[in-house]
Structure 1
Amino acid sequence: MMPPLRVLSIFGTRPEAVKMAPVVQALARTPQVESMVCVTAQHRQMLDQVLDLFGITPDVDLDLMRPDQSLAETTAAIFTHLDPVLADLKPDWILVQGDTTTVASAALLAYYRRIRVGHVEAGLRTNDKWQPFPEEINRRVAGVIADLH
């Protein structure tokens, strides 16, 4: 018998949680999958409402956001706090959704650790790297790295 596939779903905003909730719930019902959830909490209060609504309890809550945090500070915090989680949990796959800083950072970290990436949905592409900023580049980064779209 094969060991279960270890899948870590990573998200941080309310829209990501809304779109990932059915995926997380389906994975939790799949015996061949060990499903784990990590949240960065880019939108703490709104994220918690969605988690409660869908009955999802994160395995890891990084709680990274601080007042007036820059994109660089957010990215650095995700890199600093998510990398040890990936090292510890050793997922076979991570799943990300959308075009946020969490998505781009998590995809890049997974790539560095040779973990496969599933990009559930990227949003509408503009093909203008400056519009919307920084979402267009975030989705492109994740798209290049993703093993499954």
Structure 2
Amino acid sequence: MRFYRVLLIGMLLSAVAFGGCVQRTSSKGQALTTDVQTKHVIYAEGRAKLVVGDKALLDNLALTNVHFGKVGNFTRATVTLQNLADTYYHIEWNVQWLDREGFPVESYSVWQQEDMTPNMLQPVKFVGKHPDAWGFVINVRML
């Protein structure tokens, strides 16, 4: 009896630990992971991730044209933020560079403001100023 009680408690704890994320696909065809606890949606394209902090942006902002290169010992990236909606958004974004294991290698960059007109494509360029920088997360929120 004690064994089954421990087994049941273990199953419940694992359900809580692993049940916080829900995998789905957006109407635009991108893979999404919704973190139920923080309500952020994470768009992932290889080494690049886009974290959207507002419900209004969930299916209306995309990360496209992701390219990586080298500048000396540093990694550089160019991406395009795309407003998929017919709505004007005043947003701000910042970048955090990650190493190959997904751990931060430098602090967040300064928040940059953008005015995203309907269906706009906004090219963005940035450099990871740490030799271990490999991938990044762009955090976007509405103003």
TM over 0.5: no
TM-score normalised by the shorter chain: which range applies? Answer: under 0.3
| Bigger strand fraction | 2
TM-score normalized with structure 1 length: 0.25
TM-score normalized with structure 2 length: 0.26
Q: Highest Rg: 1 or 2?
A: 2
